[in-house]
């Protein structure tokens, strides 16, 4: 990965603790403006039953979106939401945990980027934001499309419920992020970013993904062992999170509530259609 030839991809799980320490000293430590977000879902604290309820609820909500689309004479969208519903229905609880963790990783990375790099000297960086995801765990192009649509939809809904925090100085200075992602009503709309600049890539051609993979492996070794080691000790100061914690832990609870108030009128109508549908049942 490092050097002019870059013929071989470095896989973190193939590196020893000493090699990981050397990597962090050489690649990470010299970077003063690097920040890492570590997100995890602890399966010892979240039951499979809870994840199953969330998975089935999201599948049911997609069916509601399909019915709403058909009622508005959007047949293509209706078919896509129906296919999405089936795809979600067939996800394992563990796969849904990956999906929820990835959503939270993207969201917190955006928010922390705004917090840590709000100064004017970093403004040019916000003109060309990209969200690049390793596609190694996705089996087919069709699955990649579903993953992308799930992430975009979930993130847009999340931004409507709890908008990103933006420095007031950005509004006053007409910051490039404000210019690119603010609607006429003054609300942040991430649709252009999520539609045009969120994509999957092969880690073998992306140094950034390889670096992220190695950092994630270092954190994984630390949390599994529950013991400090040299590579993690060097990496720790670059990790940002609530209360300076080493990891943000997701704990989904309950299930999707279709009786709750949705952020938009359209989503409220989708909830209404979903409530009218009979929930699917699984064969035992």
Looking at per-residue pLDDT, the higher value among 2 and 164 belongs to 164
Looking at per-residue pLDDT, the higher value among 1 and 110 belongs to 110
pLDDT in tens, 55-95: 999 999 999 999 999 999 999 999 999 999 999 999 999 89
Count of beta carbons in the 10 Å neighbourhood of residue 174 = 10
Residue 4 lies in a domain: no
Looking at per-residue pLDDT, the higher value among 4 and 126 belongs to 126
pLDDT at position 6, please? Answer: 52
Q: Say how far apart CA 264 and CA 270 lie, in whole Å.
A: 10
Residues 6+ apart with CB under 8 A from 51: 93, 94, 96, 97, 252
State how many domains the chain has.
Answer: 1
Range of the domain at 85: 12-253
Residues 6+ apart with CB under 8 A from 124: 176
Lookup: tokens for 80: 């896509």
pLDDT at 22 over 90: yes
* Measured CA distances, 128 to 104, 131, 192, 206 (Å): 21, 10, 12, 17
Q: Say how far apart CA 158 and CA 57 lie, in whole Å.
A: 16
Q: 182: which DSSP letter? A: B
pLDDT band for position 263 (cuts 50, 70, 90)? confident
pLDDT band for position 251 (cuts 50, 70, 90)? confident
Q: 278: which DSSP letter? A: P
Residue 231 lies in a domain: yes
Residue 275 lies in a domain: no
Residue 263 lies in a domain: no
Helix axes 75-89, 48-71, angle to 10 degrees: 170
What pTM was estimated for this model as a whole? 0.87
pLDDT at position 242, please? Answer: 76
pLDDT at 168 over 80: yes
Q: What's the gap between Cα 204 and its chain centre?
A: 21
Residue 76 lies in a domain: yes
Contact 170, 103 (CB under 8 A): no
Mean pLDDT of the chain: 89
Residue 167 lies in a domain: yes
pLDDT at position 119, please? Answer: 96
Residue 30 lies in a domain: yes
pLDDT in tens, 195-206: 999 999 998 888
Residue 277 lies in a domain: no
pLDDT in tens, 196-248: 999 999 988 888 999 999 999 999 999 988 889 999 999 999 999 877 788 88
pLDDT in tens, 95-105: 999 899 999 99
Q: Say how far apart CA 121 and CA 10 lie, in whole Å.
A: 33
Q: What's the gap between Cα 267 and its chain centre?
A: 21
pLDDT at 4 over 70: no
pLDDT at position 199, please? Answer: 92
């Amino acid at each position: 990965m490092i050097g002019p030839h870059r013929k071989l991809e470095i896989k973190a799980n193939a590196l020893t603790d000493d090699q990981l320490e050397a990597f962090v000293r050489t690649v990470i430590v010299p970077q003063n403006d690097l920040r890492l977000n570590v997100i995890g879902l602890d399966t010892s604290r979240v039951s499979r039953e809870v994840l199953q309820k969330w998975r089935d609820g999201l599948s049911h909500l997609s069916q509601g979106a399909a019915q709403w689309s058909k009622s508005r004479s959007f047949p293509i969208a209706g078919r896509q939401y129906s296919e999405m519903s089936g795809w979600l229905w067939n996800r394992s609880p563990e796969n849904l945990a990956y999906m929820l963790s990835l959503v939270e990783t993207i969201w917190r990375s955006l928010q922390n980027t705004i917090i840590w790099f709000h100064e004017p000297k970093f403004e040019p960086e916000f003109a060309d934001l990209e969200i690049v995801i390793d596609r190694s765990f996705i089996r087919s192009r069709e699955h990649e499309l579903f993953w992308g649509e799930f992430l975009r939809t979930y993130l847009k809904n999340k931004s409507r419920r709890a908008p990103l925090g933006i420095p007031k100085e950005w509004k006053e200075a007409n910051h490039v992020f404000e210019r690119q992602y603010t609607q006429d009503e003054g609300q942040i709309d991430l649709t252009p970013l999520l539609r045009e600049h969120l994509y999957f890539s092969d880690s073998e051609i992306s140094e950034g993904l390889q670096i992220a993979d190695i950092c994630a492996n270092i954190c994984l070794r630390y949390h599994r062992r529950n013991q400090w080691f040299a590579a993690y000790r060097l990496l720790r100061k670059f990790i940002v999170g609530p209360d300076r914690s080493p990891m943000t832990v997701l704990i989904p609870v309950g299930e999707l509530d279709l009786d709750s108030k949705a952020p938009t009128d359209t989503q409220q109508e989708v909830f209404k259609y979903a409530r009218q549908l009979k929930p699917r049942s699984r064969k035992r």
